[in-house]
Chains A and B, each alone.
Chain A
């Protein structure tokens, strides 16, 4: 016998909850825990508890019941009943069973209701019979025992009937609950249906307008499954409203990007089904779908990341390209320059970190372009800032400074301009634009000298022909200086 086990069992049995449970439960629990019968008995002995006596006296009756293979609750009831019956007091069984009924309804009780009554009756008959046969246990007269047994049986039956009634009530209440639940589900289902139909109606309305919107809510992904339109969740700002087709990007809730006011107005119009007034009917189909595609005018240019050179060398290429403008006769033909339409000048966008305050000449140029064709020197050198710009990128600034230094050293390179046809063309174009905006150059003057000049310079293009007039004018003027 293991003391530790016994002590554990004692602790278990001392627990108030355990004390309220039927003895057979306690026994079987301990058996399950691996205690031997001795240990269990010892534990029981140590607990000062009435049921202990009962359990001790039970063996004969309980064994019989247990070996019937009853459901646990059955054996629960029966041991107590017979022991009580065996004892003189007839009130006990009723008390026991009534406690049973008073306790919380348990499924076991329902089972009891079904199986207890007949079993009980048969068992009682058996016991009574046995009692009649074996006479050793009680000193009472048999008839009184029988009477008691009968009385006990009656009370037992009454109690069982109570149990049955109680369980029936329970079943009823369950059914009622079910009913309520079903009703609730129906109501919810109806609401869902209503909402669905509402959203469908709204979407149909939207579908009549041919527009699309920008969403600010993120949940159009959900609605994508239905019609790929966002849910109209009734926001005042209409941002969540959608038109026919799927919206483009949304912003994250809650910080939806504020849309422009006119955007809201247009959204509102579209929602109402109105078409904004400024839309034209445009036929944008190709007039000749079989239009042959052009031949490429120039070769594709290598990408900076494809070039085998490093990055710095690329920028060097760029700088040398800059330096060719209007300066050197030896054009570095790095493929950037010789394009009819291309720009080999050093435009403002190739300068890095140029601050506007330094480009005074450009301002002059702009003023000049509005009316008078002012002195051409600034025109040609207008993109050269008088002072070097403040340095944010030193190496770039240094690189930029170099070509401009050389430029400022040289005089106006107009003769080189002419000598270099492509540069001339660009210059011509630019000047053409200036003069078109109101220059005072007289196109008629010097035309006789022009053709000679043109044939000398070899400029053939008709475009530059007309603007060549201006060049010659400029040159004449400059020569006059």
Chain B
């Protein structure tokens, strides 16, 4: 299983929705405390090693990125200086970025492209807001300001074109409909900060939340008093959750305990896989939409791993 070493600490990894062999990595210098950032676009090769297709330097740390669902060569990056940058891989690096949208007043922490309408994306920021953008407009379409603290993650619903969820440090998850003026639902999901949330791709009312309290909770938004499942097993804060694009009940998660875990929340003994290949905080994880069972993860140990579920990520 190939490994890629990035010069900076990894923050996020995302598979391209167009090309099975392509993925992008967001990295930050000095753990994201203070320093530059870099976006890597990597290619998997059949032979094994990961090669770098392109890299883009940024003045500040890159916390997250998202591939466009409409254009195979476009990439959105959320940067720590509050800007949102658009990169076009069909242009050489000196012509990039093609856009820099600077509206957030604090760090932009997450970016997600709409998989249904394919025309817009949302960014979540530490300025407590989520902004809706389209790639052809220089300014945001809408700003959603209700959270009381940093928005750590905002993700679109995989089936409903206008619905998204946001996870915040104010310990709530809010469900929004772009057509509505305010949030349509508030889930007080955890007692501590919620770092990530993701929708079930096969059940459009089910959402998973990951929190500082080391647990992942799976909720049905229609009855949010009691979670469908509580997944315990991480020994430190869970940084990211991702529902599998292929199996409705599979969830991948990564945590400050340096592991990436795979869960099946419908099953009594939910933990079905545990990978401890990272030697520092595991901060980013993704499951490929195009290749079933393909996982990628990155962490502060400056390594990007890509492996098949069931295999050893560190195997050469």
Spell out A's residues near B (CB within 8 Å): 209-214, 218, 221, 224, 228, 243, 245-246, 248-252, 255, 257, 260, 262-263, 266-267, 270, 275-276, 278-289, 291, 293-298, 300-301, 303-305, 311, 314-315, 318, 336, 339, 341-343, 345-356, 362, 365-366, 369, 382-383, 392-393, 430, 433-434
Contacts and interface: CB of A to CB of B under 8 A. Distances in A.
A345 B249 CA distance: 29
A250 B193 contact: yes
Contact of A300 (B70, B256, B280, B300): B70
B67 to A, nearest CB: 11
B46 A279 contact: no
A66 B29 CA distance: 90
Given A246-B106, A284-B56, A350-B291, 20 more contacts: A221-B193, A245-B106, A251-B236, A257-B256, A257-B281, A260-B281, A279-B35, A286-B96, A291-B91, A291-B98, A294-B73, A300-B69, A343-B44, A343-B46, A347-B44, A349-B291, A352-B309, A366-B47, A393-B310, A433-B47
B33 A301 contact: no
Given A251-B256, A288-B95, A353-B311, A366 B48 contact: yes
Contacts of A251: 212, 214, 236-237, 256
Which among B35, B80, B248, B307 has the greatest number of chain A C-beta atoms within 10 A?
Answer: B35
A304 B289 contact: yes
A280 B8 CA distance: 13
A267 B201 contact: no
B238 to A, nearest CB: 9
A336 B86 CA distance: 26
Contact of B315 (A267, A276, A291, A356): A356
B146 interface: no
12 contacts: A214-B32, A214-B33, A248-B195, A249-B152, A249-B239, A250-B212, A262-B31, A279-B34, A293-B88, A294-B74, A350-B294, A353-B311
A390 to B, nearest CB: 10
Contacts of A294: 71, 73-74, 88, 90-91
Which among B18, B135, B158 has the greatest number of chain A C-beta atoms within 10 A?
Answer: B18
Interface in B73-99: 73-74, 79-80, 85-86, 88, 90-91, 94-99
Contact of A275 (B32, B34, B293): B34
A355 B21 CA distance: 20
Contact of B34 (A243, A291, A433): A243
A339 B73 CA distance: 13
Given A250-B237, A252-B214, A210 B34 contact: yes
B33 A349 contact: no
A343 B98 CA distance: 27
Given A303-B289, A349-B294, A311 B31 contact: no
A309 to B, nearest CB: 12
A291 B126 CA distance: 29
Interface in B31-70: 31-36, 44-48, 56-59, 69-70
Which among B20, B88, B106 has the greatest number of chain A C-beta atoms within 10 A?
Answer: B20
Given A248-B109, A351-B308, A305 B59 contact: no
Interface in B265-315: 280-281, 289-294, 300, 306-312, 315
B308 A354 contact: yes
A246 B35 CA distance: 16
Contacts of A366: 47-48
A263 B31 contact: yes
Which among A280, A294, A305 has the greatest number of chain B C-beta atoms within 10 A?
Answer: A305
Given A218-B212, A252-B212, A297-B73, A284 B17 contact: no
A252 B232 CA distance: 14
Contacts of B97: 284-286
B70 A296 contact: yes
Which among A250, A293, A311, A433 has the greatest number of chain B C-beta atoms within 10 A?
Answer: A293
A378 to B, nearest CB: 11
B84 to A, nearest CB: 12
A289 B310 contact: no
A218 B192 contact: yes
Chain B: interface secondary structure?
loop
Contact of A212 (B107, B138, B148): B107
Interface residues of B, number: 96
A473 B10 CA distance: 42
Contacts of A297: 71-73, 90
Contacts of A369: 47
A246 B150 contact: yes
Contact of B149 (A224, A243, A288): A224
A276 B310 CA distance: 40
A271 to B, nearest CB: 10
A212 B33 contact: yes
B149 A221 contact: yes
Which among A286, A291, A383 has the greatest number of chain B C-beta atoms within 10 A?
Answer: A286
A321 B89 CA distance: 26
Contacts of B20: 336, 342-343, 347, 349-350
Interface in B200-250: 201-202, 212-214, 235-237, 239, 245-248
For the complex of A and B, 4 pairs with smallest distance between CB atoms: A211-B34, A347-B46, A257-B256, A257-B236
B257 interface: yes
A249 B169 contact: yes
A288 B98 contact: yes
Contacts of A286: 85-86, 96-100
Given A221-B169, A276-B34, A343 B19 contact: yes
A279 B29 contact: yes
Nearest to A267: B33
Nearest to B126: A246
Contact of B57 (A243, A246, A282, A356): A282
Nearest to B60: A284
B177 interface: no
A218 B193 contact: yes
A255 B236 contact: yes
B307 to A, nearest CB: 8
Contacts of A315: 292
Contacts of B256: 251, 257
Contact of A284 (B59, B138, B311, B312): B59
